[in-house]
Structure 1
Amino acid sequence: MIKRTFALSLLSVYGAAIFAAPAPVADVTSGSNDQRIEALERMFATRTEAQHRLQQQLDTMQSEVNELRGSIELHNYQLERILDRQRELYAEIDKRMSGVMNTPPVTPAAASNSAQQGGSGAVLSENENEAYDKAVNLILKDKLYDQAIPAFQSFLQTFPNSSYASNAHYWLGQLLFNKQDWAGASAQFQVLVSKYPDSNKRADALVKLGITEMERSNSARAKQLWEQVIKDFPDSPSSKEATKRLKTL
């Protein structure tokens, strides 16, 4: 009686599941009750094993999808940083070309007068360009980051009103930022934000300034700076970075 009741229960369960997945064909209508129950048990075990394998395959596929999604997000972020870097380089090139095009030609007489007067005017401008180029090349070409720090400091001290001053503050702030000198980096980014509102590096400087504040346990100030980036530069890569930073608060 118990076996018969169990057999009927299995038939009920299997009748509901038979449409979910294919199962091996077995005759459960003939033979003794014991044989029929044994056949049902084999079919149930086979279906359970098949469903288990299917679930494992689904779990594996989901894991692979998650890995691919993470890889795509990482590549998108890296691509944004590369594009930002290219824009910075193009801006640097444009600025230098403009400086060259706007420099008046030096005639022999003018050069002689300049030399007699101790070297001023065009000679001073040339020294300014050379000093800036030297500092930038220590980063871009030579990768001598520690030597670039005093080079930019010297440039800013010698040419405080240079047209390159905003960029020099940014580069110096970035170099100090990479060394985790949060106070020094913050000072440079703050000068850029305060004195050069039209700088094309202002948005990124605000993001980095917020990070330096966060590193010094000033989360309220960091939040304020990142919200300012989103408000003032809504479509920029810096705005996306600020949004990500805000989500971590």
Structure 2
Amino acid sequence: MANPLRKLDLIDIAPKFTPVSAAEINARFDGVETTEMLRRLFDEPPYDDLALVSSFGAESAVLLHMVSQIDKSVPLIFINTQKIFGETLAYRDELAERLGFTDMRVYRPDPYLLAQKDATSLRWSYDPDGCCDLRKVEPLRRALAPFDAWISGRKGFQGKTRNALPRFEEDEGRLKINPLADWDKARLNAYFEEHKLPRHPLEAQGYPSIGCAPCTSQVQAGEDPRAGRWRGWDKTECGIHDPVF
């Protein structure tokens, strides 16, 4: 007798979102102010399940504050690569508590994979792409498994690889939402001031873009804001985000 469950192996489940559907959503919200766009997304969502992903980096407080004013119960995902600055972890706890998020979800690298692929904990020094895949990409993929859409804090001004960043894009069949895609540094600073938001403690020390401690260095005046990320390597993104030129 044939196994009726065998049919499931033959079902090709199409992704919920495609580049075309993401472009359609972009057009729908063209010209809509950022906070209004977010409210409409929460009130009449084009997705089933949504997560907010944050690195709690230098400018993360702006988006976190915006979302907290709409829904404090949205799942808030943080990837602890176990190479994070201590200042970032402290800032995460302070900010999440201050803004009142009720569903913080922290994901870490798989210890079995770490033992296999980074037993010395030094992979960042000779294979940063592999390290990011192990410590960021894989944990985020696990974290996002229940969701068909997620909010990212990327901004177009942050580097030449993000110049053409759209508000909505398709990512592995999910809808990735970039509410601050068209915000510049001056607008972010004004929002910080207006809402009296705390700054990341490393920003004042010359870290405008903050990732893992071994692969983040201070940025000098006139440099690209992300020049301190993977300095000396031909690498601009961790793998979570594709470059958008």
What band does the TM-score fall into relative to the shorter chain?
under 0.3
Name the one with the larger helix percent: 1
For normalisation by structure 2, the TM-score amounts to: 0.23
Higher relative contact order (CA 8 A, sep 6+): 2
